[in-house]
A and B are shown apart, each in its own frame.
Chain A
Amino acid sequence: MNQKIILQNVSKRYRIGKSSLNIRSLFKNKKSEEKFHWAVKDINFNLGAGEALGIIGPNGAGKTTILKLLSRVTFPTSGKIELNGRYSALIELGAGFHPDLSGRENVFLNGTILGMRKAEIEKRFDQIVDFAGIEKYIDTPVKRYSSGMYARLGFSVAAHVDPEILIVDEVLAVGDMAFQKKCYDRMLNLIRNGTTLVFVSHNMRAIQKVCSRSIVLYRGTMAYEGSSSDATAEYSNILRKAASENSETELENLSDGIGQRIMTQKAIIEKVEIYRDDGLPCHSYQSGETALVRAYVKFLESAQSPVIACSIRDPEGLIVYDFTTEWAQIKTPDFEANTKAIIEFPLELNLSSGTYQLGVNLAYKDLSRYYDRIDRALDFAVSSSSGSRGISDLKANIKIMNESGNPL
């Protein structure tokens, strides 16, 4: 029995509509129907010491509800939650901070709310202040802090609670890159020392960095569970499915590229194929070979000069190659409604050996939305005999010479 967190068939129902009665509804004498909404349904997972779980999903998928359940702020409607060990929840940075009190006073206040004893806080006080990097302002009321300083101090306190279970909501979006990196390092450090971590984020890179396993939530249910890189890829498929169900879905910061945008499905990428230059479909290539990517697109409505893009990622989600007609300043034609088109890209695969994911997407001319986007249309493998490592094969044709330039 080494499990730190066990969730069994956990569901949470909220009542929607009017939350409480008032005089007017009493006099109406009409029993208004109670409506319910399942925020999360049948969630199951177990985590042991030193394990980290990422939770991803679009807005309203139930991520925050799970965090609230894990931190005991709210209770499940049904199911069982077991938490073994001292936990610290970071759902909001600087919870309980009072604007009029100094940074010092707030560190103690926030620390006690998170369950630390006064003596423990005193022992770690210098570390906390040092981590936040605000030594100079520690006796200033926090209302005079910048939002970045405020968040840094908040994270710093929570990260020094030394919890057995740490629950982190997407709160690291604040702060500069250097501080974010510090936060991720701190989380990794805690995991190595046996802390169980649950991390909710829209930042796929961060999730992949910190968590080995992830679940994808969609409409309150677990749509996928697996390795973080697979979950990230699966997430885009789920978004795509969602987009075809109801017309518009928000695409959260799916890694880089065109950030938080919308998929309209007014044009659909029906099929993506990859061929060798002799015309045969093939999924494994020699480094340096040319592959032909062909995408079949169906336009449901007319599209004016859409931006066509293709990307290649490694299994960690790192973008190896990204191409768009916008960056290349290629003018694409206009397409009529109910027409089909075939798009071809020949790609010179100067890649190191490994597997890669090919993605294709189609965006509006002004880049405001996507027609369709598939981050992982297909996988292919590259093998290389050059003995190089990394992601690209730059064909180092090594020569070794003496001083006068003669080969040795």
Chain B
Amino acid sequence: MYSGQQKISFFNYKELLFAWTSRIIRARYQQSILGGLWAIVQPIATVLIFTVVFSYFLKVDTGKVPYIVFSYTAMVPWLFFSTSINEMVESIVSNMNLVAKIYFPREILVFSTLLARLVDFLIAFVLLIILIIIYKVPVNLPVWLFIPVILVCQISLALGIGFFASSINVFFRDIKHVFTLIMQLWLYATPIIYPISIVPEKFKNIYFLNPMVGIIEGYRAILLYGKMPDISFVFSLIISVVVLLLGYTFFKKIEFRFADII
């Protein structure tokens, strides 16, 4: 039992959150020539591969929107989601020397890992806007105001999963490998490299249980079709908030054992 006047709240550590985020970013691009440009190299390379496959070998119908813009729109948020989860899983374990030596709210390690990837996401998003202009996709700017809501929803989902995974990974390092696998499968269970129209009708009910479907479709609706997201996004939003609350509660319950196990 601890007591005393000093109550440590997340808020007191706001500055640490930003300091740690900037540490991750700066360390990542230290001694690298391309630096922040790496944030767009990865989604572009991935999209180019799928563009070759799906525009030339297996033709996929993406309507009026060229395939490359169609898939890049989804690939940028997806890579933010999957990369940050894969990194969050290890965020506690890879800082074990700190966790075992100094007290600070451990969720900072998880959250800052995600924030550091958010910066990459924003850089890649700028390129997305350029692509939209180059390919003359019609733009409906007022609905763009809804993008932050989708982004917050996506971050909540990722963070909730990150809290779960990073704390369990302290006890069982298998989680790291499990998540690498899950993220690979999840990519194909989400309409990123293909349009949702090719999903057979009889699977649609199960398909929409994946909260990332509503999120990705939400991005496409706004950016490519100038529409507000449909009802499936509301479902994603509810799931994301629940996952975040559960994940964070779990994390705080188990946090005190980290230093002993590590």
Q: Give A residues with C-beta under 8 Å from B.
A: 14, 19-20, 68, 71-76, 79-87, 89, 91-92, 95-96, 98, 100-101, 105, 108-109, 112-115, 117-118, 141
CB of B144 within 8 Å of the partner chain? no
From A74, A80, A98, A101, give the contact of B260 (CB < 8 A): A74
- Chain A residue with Cβ nearest B12: A115
* B-chain residues with CB within 8 Å of residue A89 when the two chains form the complex: 101-103
Q: Please state if B104 and A81 are interface contacts (CB–CB under 8 Å).
A: no
Known interface pairs A101-B27, A105-B26, A112-B19; A83-B104 also in contact (CB < 8 Å):
no
* A-chain residues with CB within 8 Å of residue B16 when the two chains form the complex: 112-113
CB under 8 Å from chain A, chain B span 1-48? 1-6, 12, 15-16, 19-20, 23, 26-27, 30-31
Q: Please state if B102 and A100 are interface contacts (CB–CB under 8 Å).
A: no
Secondary structure dominating the interface of A: loop
CB of B259 within 8 Å of the partner chain? yes
How many residue pairs bridge A and B at CB < 8 Å? 92
* B-chain residues with CB within 8 Å of residue A76 when the two chains form the complex: 1
* B-chain residues with CB within 8 Å of residue A105 when the two chains form the complex: 23, 26
* A-chain residues with CB within 8 Å of residue B19 when the two chains form the complex: 108-109, 112-113, 118
Q: How far is the CB of B87 from chain A (nearest CB, A)?
A: 16
CB of B256 within 8 Å of the partner chain? yes
From B15, B27, B97, B259, give the contact of A95 (CB < 8 A): B97
Q: How far is the CB of A76 from chain B (nearest CB, A)?
A: 7
CB under 8 Å from chain A, chain B span 248-262? 256, 259-261
Q: Please state if B102 and A114 are interface contacts (CB–CB under 8 Å).
A: yes
Q: Please state if B2 and A83 are interface contacts (CB–CB under 8 Å).
A: yes
10 CB contacts below 8 A, A to B, read: A72-B2, A73-B101, A75-B256, A89-B102, A89-B103, A98-B27, A101-B30, A113-B19, A113-B102, A113-B104
* B-chain residues with CB within 8 Å of residue A95 when the two chains form the complex: 97-98, 101-102
Q: How far is the CA of A159 from the CA of B223 in the complex (A)?
A: 53
Q: How far is the CB of A83 from chain B (nearest CB, A)?
A: 4
* B-chain residues with CB within 8 Å of residue A81 when the two chains form the complex: 1-3
Q: Please state if B101 and A79 are interface contacts (CB–CB under 8 Å).
A: no
Q: Please state if A71 and B23 are interface contacts (CB–CB under 8 Å).
A: no
8 additional A-B residue pairs with CB within 8 Å, beyond A73-B100, A98-B23 = A20-B171, A80-B2, A100-B26, A100-B31, A105-B26, A112-B15, A112-B20, A113-B16
Q: How far is the CB of B151 from chain A (nearest CB, A)?
A: 26
Q: Please state if A109 and B23 are interface contacts (CB–CB under 8 Å).
A: yes
Q: Please state if B260 and A14 are interface contacts (CB–CB under 8 Å).
A: yes
CB of B172 within 8 Å of the partner chain? yes
Known interface pairs A73-B103, A83-B4, A98-B27; A118-B15 also in contact (CB < 8 Å):
yes
Q: How far is the CA of A83 from the CA of B100 in the complex (A)?
A: 19
* A-chain residues with CB within 8 Å of residue B172 when the two chains form the complex: 20
* B-chain residues with CB within 8 Å of residue A109 when the two chains form the complex: 19-20, 23
Q: How far is the CB of A319 from chain B (nearest CB, A)?
A: 35
Q: How far is the CB of A239 from chain B (nearest CB, A)?
A: 28
Q: Give B residues with C-beta under 8 Å from A.
A: 1-6, 12, 15-16, 19-20, 23, 26-27, 30-31, 97-104, 171-172, 256, 259-261
Known interface pairs A73-B259, A105-B26; A96-B5 also in contact (CB < 8 Å):
no
Q: Please state if B30 and A100 are interface contacts (CB–CB under 8 Å).
A: yes
* A-chain residues with CB within 8 Å of residue B98 when the two chains form the complex: 95-96, 113
Most buried by B among A19, A81, A101, A112: A112
Q: How far is the CB of B248 from chain A (nearest CB, A)?
A: 19
* B-chain residues with CB within 8 Å of residue A113 when the two chains form the complex: 16, 19, 98, 102, 104
* Top 6 A-B residue pairs of the complex, sorted by shortest distance between their CB atoms: A72-B103, A83-B4, A100-B30, A112-B19, A112-B16, A74-B259
Q: Please state if A92 and B101 are interface contacts (CB–CB under 8 Å).
A: yes
* A-chain residues with CB within 8 Å of residue B256 when the two chains form the complex: 74-75
Q: How far is the CA of A152 from the CA of B172 in the complex (A)?
A: 37
Q: How far is the CB of A215 from chain B (nearest CB, A)?
A: 21
Q: How far is the CB of B7 from chain A (nearest CB, A)?
A: 11
Q: How far is the CB of B41 from chain A (nearest CB, A)?
A: 21
* B-chain residues with CB within 8 Å of residue A108 when the two chains form the complex: 19
Q: How far is the CB of B112 from chain A (nearest CB, A)?
A: 11
* B-chain residues with CB within 8 Å of residue A92 when the two chains form the complex: 97, 101-102
* B-chain residues with CB within 8 Å of residue A114 when the two chains form the complex: 102
- Chain A residue with Cβ nearest B171: A20
From A14, A87, A91, give the contact of B6 (CB < 8 A): A87
Q: Please state if A101 and B102 are interface contacts (CB–CB under 8 Å).
A: no
* B-chain residues with CB within 8 Å of residue A75 when the two chains form the complex: 2, 256
* A-chain residues with CB within 8 Å of residue B1 when the two chains form the complex: 76, 79-81
Q: How far is the CA of A79 from the CA of B102 in the complex (A)?
A: 21
* B-chain residues with CB within 8 Å of residue A98 when the two chains form the complex: 23, 27
- Chain B residue with Cβ nearest A111: B19
Q: How far is the CA of A92 from the CA of B30 in the complex (A)?
A: 25
- Chain A residue with Cβ nearest B3: A82
Q: How far is the CA of A117 from the CA of B14 in the complex (A)?
A: 10
Known interface pairs A19-B261, A105-B26; A91-B102 also in contact (CB < 8 Å):
yes
Q: How far is the CA of A98 from the CA of B100 in the complex (A)?
A: 17
Q: How far is the CB of B174 from chain A (nearest CB, A)?
A: 9
Q: How far is the CB of B100 from chain A (nearest CB, A)?
A: 6
* A-chain residues with CB within 8 Å of residue B103 when the two chains form the complex: 71-73, 89
Most buried by B among A72, A82, A91: A72
Q: How far is the CA of A163 from the CA of B81 in the complex (A)?
A: 40
Q: Please state if A85 and B15 are interface contacts (CB–CB under 8 Å).
A: no
Q: Please state if B260 and A100 are interface contacts (CB–CB under 8 Å).
A: no
- Chain B residue with Cβ nearest A169: B101
Q: Please state if A100 and B27 are interface contacts (CB–CB under 8 Å).
A: yes
Q: How far is the CB of B25 from chain A (nearest CB, A)?
A: 11
* A-chain residues with CB within 8 Å of residue B101 when the two chains form the complex: 71, 73, 89, 91-92, 95
Q: How far is the CB of A234 from chain B (nearest CB, A)?
A: 30
Q: How far is the CB of A272 from chain B (nearest CB, A)?
A: 44
Q: How far is the CA of A180 from the CA of B168 in the complex (A)?
A: 42
Q: How far is the CA of A71 from the CA of B4 in the complex (A)?
A: 13
Q: How far is the CA of A141 from the CA of B261 in the complex (A)?
A: 32
